[in-house]
Amino acid sequence: MDAVTFFAARLRWQTDPSDLAAERAGGAGPIVVDTRNEASWQQGRIPGSLHVPGSELADRIGGLVPDLAADVVVYCWGPGCNGSTRAALRLAELGYTHVRELIGGFEYWAREGLAIETDAGRTRRPVDDLTAPVASLHAHA
């Protein structure tokens, strides 16, 4: 595999928080699936995401996302978690043809100052200047 093929494949099967936020702000964005456990979901999540823990994915995803050609983005905690990688693989094995992984996961979504939701409502964390320019991300939902 050459470098062009490798990097093109990564861009096809992965997205990052700011690109996902831009897609969603443009309307008709992908279906976003949080694969973490219940306690993690309650602590915070990407607004509008579906909660399907990895252990329940095979049993529940067909009822929530019946279209195997749907644009689906999966996420877990962050770079130290491979739950989204496992979920993306499982969805591909189940026949989903357009599955992407959110690199950086929920951690980088929140660290970039993008909107998060908890059971108490919607909020944002301050932008971490080690992950994104402080002024550039305030416009994303």
For residue 18, count other CB atoms closer than 10 A to its CB: 18
Give yes or no for residue 38 having a pLDDT over 50. Answer: yes
Q: Which two tokens stand for residue 67?
A: 């279209």
Task: Report the percentage of the chain scoring pLDDT > 90.
Answer: 84
Query: Does 135 score more than 80 pLDDT?
Result: no
Specify whether the CB–CB gap between 101 and 78 falls below 8 A.
no
Predicted pLDDT at 53: 97
Q: What does the DSSP 8-state code read for residue 45?
A: B
Q: Is the pLDDT of residue 21 over 90?
A: yes
pLDDT band at 1 (very low <50, low <70, confident <90, very high): confident
Mean pLDDT along residues 32-60: 96
pLDDT(46) > 50: yes
Cα separation of 90 and 99, whole Å? 10
Instruction: Taking residues 81-96, report their average pLDDT.
Output: 97
Matching CATH number, 27-123, of 3.30.365.10, 3.40.250.10, 3.40.190.100, 3.40.50.300: 3.40.250.10
**Segments making up each domain of the chain, as ranges:** 27-123
Type and span of the H or E element at 17: helix 17-25
Residue 141 confidence (pLDDT) above 90: no
Per-residue tokens: 100: 């992407």
pLDDT at 12 over 80: yes
Identify the band that residue 136 occupies on the pLDDT scale cut at 50, 70 and 90: low
Q: How does the average pLDDT of the chain come out, rounded? A: 93
Length of the chain measured in residues:
141
Please report which residue ranges of the chain form alpha helices under DSSP H. 3-13, 17-25, 38-43, 57-64, 83-93, 105-111
More confidently predicted of 138 and 135: 135
* Band of residue 137 on the pLDDT scale cut at 50, 70, 90: very low
Structural contact between residues 99 and 13, judged by C-beta atoms closer than 8 angstroms: yes
